[in-house]
Amino acid sequence: MSLIIGMGATGLSCARYLQAIGAEFAVADTRAAPAMLDVFKAEFPGVSLELGDLPEALLARAQRLIVSPGVSVKTDAIAKAKSAGVDITGDIALFSQRVKKPIVAVTGSNGKSTVVAMLASILRAAGRSFGLGGNLDGENFKPALDLLSEEPKELYVLELSSFQLETTLALNAEAVALLNLSQDHMDRYTDASEYLSAKQNIFHGAKQVCVNVSDALTFSLDPATATVCYSTHGALEGGFGINEAAGTRALSFNGSAFLATDRMKVAGEHNIANALAASSLAHAIGVSLDSIAQGIAEFKGLPHRCQWVAKIDNVDYFNDSKGTNIGSTLASVVGLGEHIAALSGGKLVLIAGGEGKGADFSPLAPAIRTFVRNVILIGRDAKLIAECLEQDSYAHEVTFAQSMAEAIEQATAAAQAGDAVLLSPACASFDMFDNFQHRGDSFATKVREKAQEG
């Protein structure tokens, strides 16, 4: 008997999959009233369900535990079951064992959703049939196992979190990329090494690995694995890079330009890096440079990721609510900061804060010193962030706001013509909002209301 632990969207997809193949299963959830309880009871009226504390005896009797990403495998009852020899797995491992077509998978602390969406745009330009799922959000959200109930595709593209990879010991993908690593989820992992180790599970069984030659952490654990290389620092013979000539920058392959960066609809150095990663993955599965160029040029970006909202009194407002960790916010501050400085000579007014997940925010200080005029902090860990910024010798202009509306009012007052207001919290959202989408929508709605007032 399989025991599914966690009754969220992933847990439900596991239940549907097991029911479809005729496997016996039960479900347990540590919450007394999970949000999807009514959906589960309607779909699986005869399936055993345990709510509340995980019963160790039940876990010990199971042949395997299918653990949802939101549940730590370090949970005492799960750890004891593992020690007793019970198999621990997850939905991505089940998917990879079942699917017969190639998998392309992407992980990393930052940029993975954009790279996967960019790759999807490339595949559409190439006329390839593909399924898209995993850790994506918004309209692209789909648990991987739900893809198996659809018409078979030529290949499958997955965005994978460290939580999903914890229980995926042999993905056996056709092509993979670990884009980057920055401090995140330190409330779940002992240290950065443990976090990296979970991410590196993506390499197991991979036929090709796409690597950033400037970042050793992106390299395969097995040096014999075939690689597709890219560089964010200049052109690269034998891979993808950036050509610069006569004031024009372009994405290049083997030193030859194939797409001018000014044709891209998403701005910032971080998005050029994303485009190079997506290009490398597409090349690994045989997509032509023409289709790669077309797909990147047509890609318009994703909601809540440096998404332009409005212009008010010659100040642009950007929603980067998906900036839920330091690395993501750092990339946005540098990428957008450089763009605004070149465009208008302006600075950023940064709105940040929320649940810090045990992170050290001091790495943000140099970029804030260079690109940010004012910092407005919200949420539970606002004072902690302020303390980290105060350690820098630069005198940051830092204020506090109790709500998103107050933060926007302060940002509007601080911004000068040619500046940009950037919501990029570097934190989780759950102290004030339902999720990062709710936070971003709150920001965008209030900014648009202010724009209409003007």
- Catalytically active residues are 112, 135, 185
Alpha-carbon dihedral sign for residues 242, 243, 246, 249 = negative
**CA-to-CA distance for 438 and 351, rounded, in angstroms?**
15
Residue 157 corresponds to which tokens in the numbers above?
Answer: 């593209």
* Of 109, 292, 112, nearest in space to 195 by CA: 109
Using DSSP's 3-state secondary structure scheme, residue 288 falls into: coil
Give the start-end residues of each E strand in 273-401: 307-312, 315-319, 348-352, 372-377, 398-400
* Of 410, 438, 186, 428, nearest in space to 323 by CA: 428
The number of beta carbons lying within 10 Å of the beta carbon of residue 213 is 18
- With vertex at residue 62, the alpha carbon angle to CA 61 and CA 67, rounded to the nearest 5 degrees, is 135
* Of 442, 407, 447, 404, nearest in space to 312 by CA: 447
Instruction: Say if CB 10 and CB 91 are below 8 A apart.
Output: yes
